[in-house]
Structure 1
Amino acid sequence: MTARLRAHQYGKAETRVVRIVRDTPRHEIRDLNVSTALRGDFAAAYLDGDQSAVLPTDTQKNTAFAYAKEHGVASPERFATLLARHFVDDVAPVSGARVDVDEHAWVRVLVDRAEHDHTWVRSGQEVRTASVTVDADGTWVVAGLRDLTVLKSTGSEFRGFLQDAYTTLPETTDRVLATSLLAQWRYAGTELDFDATYATVRSTLLSTFATQHSLALQQTLWEMGRAVLDAVPEVVEIRFAAPNKHHLLADLSPFGLDNPGEVFFAADRPYGLIEAVVVRDGAPDAGSAWTRSVGAP
C-alpha cells in the first residue's frame, strides 16, 4: 500500500485563561477559552516520531498564560493576534499559526442598586469568538459570536412558498421568529478598536432583527448582513448560520380554550438551518484567507 501525509497541524485546545486586573479597587475580568494550532514542516513527528521541531502543546498553553500576564487582554482579537505572531515570528519551525479565542461574558452583581467592584455573574450562553491566522501571506482577523438567542413575538411571516404533494406547512402572516445566531465577520485590517467594533456589530445585528419586518429568516439574515456592512466600514464580509427555533401554536381546543397566538410549543428538533454570506461590494474574495482563519488545515 502507498500512503502519504497530506496535511497536518497540531496545538493545544481549550486552555481556560481568566485574567483579572487588580490595579484599582474596581477589578476587571476577561474569561477566555484559547485554542492554538501550529503549521509548518512537522512531518517527521508523524512519520518517524522525531519531535525535534515540535514545540510542545504544553508550552503553547503556558505561553497563553504568560501572555495574559505580560500583555493583558485588551480584546480577544488582540490577544489572539499577539499569540499567533509570537509563534510565527519567534518559533523557527512554525510557518503559520491559528489562534481561536472564545470569551465568556460576566456582568457585575448589583449591591444596593450599584455595581459591585469585584463580583460578577455569568451572562447567559452567548459566546464572543475570535480567530486569528498569521502566516507568510499576512494576518487575518475573523471576529464573531455564537449562541446569541433572539426571539420576536410578531413582525414575521412565511408564505408564498413552493408546495408539493408532501407539503403540510400552513402559510402565516404573523408568527414567532426565533434563532440562536452564529455570526462571523472578517475585518479588512488588524489595527482596530476590536471591543468597540464588536459592540457595534452586535447592536446592529440585534436592532435589525428587532425592527426589520421579516418575510423569512433568509431575508432577515440578508438585512442584518447589509446593516453590519453599512455600520462598520472595517467589516468586509459576514457569515451567518441560523437555526430556525420553531415555536408551534399549542392546540388548546380539547380543553375548550382559545389560543390566539399566546401559548406555543418550543420544538428543538428537527429545525430549519438557514445560512448566508454577505460580502461588501467590490471587496476581494477571501479565498484561502477566510479558510485559514476559520480553521481548515
Structure 2
Amino acid sequence: MGISLGANQYGKAENRVVRVYRDTDRHEIVDLNVSTSLRGDFADAHVTGDQADVLPTDTQKNTAFAYAKKHGVTSPEDYAIALGRRFLEASPKASSAQIRVEQYAWDRIPVGANGSDHAFVRRGGAVRTTVVTVAGRGADEQVWVVSGLQDLVLLKSTGSEFKGFLEDEYTTLAETDDRILATSLVARWRYDSATGVDWNKSHDAISASLLETFATTYSHALQETLYLMGRRVLETNDAVAEIRFSAPNKHHFLVDLSPFGLENHNEVFVAADRPYGLIEATVTRDDAPPAGDAWLAVPSFL
C-alpha cells in the first residue's frame, strides 16, 4: 500500500493589524484581521521534518505588520496583493500565497461639526472582507481577488411573501403574503482582474447596490431576493465576474395574543435564532473568466 502526502498549506492566522495614520493632526485608523498561508513544495517539512524550505509563520506575522508601515493600507485588497507577492519572493518553494483580510470599521466620535480628530467608536454592522491569492512570479504571475462583506444584518418589515410552496404530509408551515424578511448576509464577489480597480470605490458601490435592491424589491422568497441582488451587482459593476451569497433566514414568527384578548395585526413577533433556513446562491456573468484558484480556501459555501 502506497502512502503519499496530499494537499497542504501553512501560515499565520488572525494577525490583528491596526494602522494609525498620523500624517496630520486628524488621524485615520485602519483595523484589520489578517491571515496568511503558503502552498507549494513543502513535502520535506511533513515527511522528513526538514524545515529548510519553510518560511516560519512568525516571519509571516512580522511581515504583515511591517508591510502595514512599509507598503501602507489604502485598501485591504491592495495590502493583501502586496503581502502575497512578498511571500512568494521570500519563499522560493511556495507556488502560491493566500491572504485573507477582514476590516473592522471605526467612526469618529461626534465632537463639533466634523467629529473628533483622534477619538473613534467601533461601528457595528458588516465586516469588509477580501481573499487574495497570488500564484507564480513575474510573467507567470496570476492574482485572484475575492472581496465581500459578512455579518450584514438586514430586515424589511413588509414587502415579502412566501406561498405556493411544495407540501407533503409533514408540512405545517402556513402560507403568508406579508411577512418580515431578515437575514445576516455573507456576500463575496470575484473580480475578473486584479488591475485597474479602485477597490474602495468598488466596495462602496457594490454594498450600496446590495442594500438598495434588498430595500426596494418585492420579495417572493429569499432565493429571489438574492438573485436580484446579485444580478444588480453584475449589471452595474463590469469588473465583477460572479457573486456568491450565504443568507440564513432569520425567522420572525407572529405571536398569538388571543389568550390575552388582543389582536395581532403583524405587529408583535418572536425572533427565532434556530433552526433557520440557509439559502445560498451564485450569480455569474456568462462571459466571466475562469475562477482559477480564486475560491481556494475561501471561507467556503457552495
Measured after TM superposition, the shift of residue 100 of structure 1 is: 0.3
Measured after TM superposition, the shift of residue 90 of structure 1 is: 3.5
Partner Cα distance (1:24, 1:140) in 2: 35
Q: 1:20 corresponds to which residue?
A: 20
Contact 2:227 2:281 in 1 (8 A): yes
Amino acid at match of 1:146: Q
Does the alignment pair 1:210 with 2:215?
A: yes
Q: 1:266 corresponds to which residue?
A: 271
Q: 1:249 corresponds to which residue?
A: 254
Measured after TM superposition, the shift of residue 111 of structure 1 is: 1.5
Q: 1:95 corresponds to which residue?
A: 95
Does the alignment pair 1:77 with 2:81?
A: no
Amino acid at match of 2:157: S
Partner Cα distance (2:22, 2:289) in 1: 43
Q: 2:158 corresponds to which residue?
A: 154
> How far does the alpha carbon of each residue in 1:42-62 deviate from its partner, in whole angstroms, 9 at most, with x for none?
111111111111110000000
Partner Cα distance (1:126, 1:200) in 2: 15
User: Any stretches of 5+ residues in structure 1 without a counterpart?
Assistant: none
Q: 2:124 corresponds to which residue?
A: 124
Q: 2:39 corresponds to which residue?
A: 39
> How far does the alpha carbon of each residue in 1:197-233 deviate from its partner, in whole angstroms, 9 at most, with x for none?
0000000000000000000000000000000001111
SS in 2 for 1:294: coil
- Structure 1 residues 293 and 198: alpha-carbon distance in aligned structure 2, compared to 1, 3 A threshold: farther
Q: 2:105 corresponds to which residue?
A: 105
Amino acid at match of 1:200: A
Amino acid at match of 1:283: A
Partner Cα distance (1:164, 1:41) in 2: 53
User: Any stretches of 5+ residues in structure 2 without a counterpart?
Assistant: none
Measured after TM superposition, the shift of residue 281 of structure 1 is: 2.1
Partner Cα distance (2:299, 2:2) in 1: 28
Partner Cα distance (2:187, 2:299) in 1: 15
Contact 1:133 1:293 in 2 (8 A): no
Measured after TM superposition, the shift of residue 91 of structure 1 is: 2.4
Does the alignment pair 1:236 with 2:213?
A: no
Measured after TM superposition, the shift of residue 95 of structure 1 is: 1.4
Partner Cα distance (2:89, 2:54) in 1: 15
Contact 1:10 1:37 in 2 (8 A): yes
Partner Cα distance (1:146, 1:212) in 2: 21
Q: 2:5 corresponds to which residue?
A: 5
Measured after TM superposition, the shift of residue 194 of structure 1 is: 0.3
Partner Cα distance (1:152, 1:131) in 2: 30
Amino acid at match of 2:150: R
Amino acid at match of 2:46: Y
SS in 2 for 1:290: coil
Contact 1:141 1:293 in 2 (8 A): no
> For 1:221, which of 207, 213, 226 is the aligned residue?
226
Cα-Cα RMSD: 1.4
Amino acid at match of 2:24: T
Partner Cα distance (1:6, 1:114) in 2: 55
Measured after TM superposition, the shift of residue 2 of structure 1 is: 4.1
% identical aligned pairs: 59
Measured after TM superposition, the shift of residue 125 of structure 1 is: 4.1
Partner Cα distance (1:293, 1:224) in 2: 25
Q: 1:186 corresponds to which residue?
A: 190
SS in 2 for 1:121: strand
SS in 2 for 1:116: coil
Q: 2:60 corresponds to which residue?
A: 60
Q: 2:286 corresponds to which residue?
A: 281
Contact 2:152 2:184 in 1 (8 A): yes
SS in 2 for 1:118: coil
Does the alignment pair 1:171 with 2:175?
A: yes
Measured after TM superposition, the shift of residue 282 of structure 1 is: 1.9
Task: Give the length in aligned residue pairs.
Answer: 295
Shifted more, 38-47 versus 147-156: the winner is: 38-47
Partner Cα distance (2:198, 2:184) in 1: 26
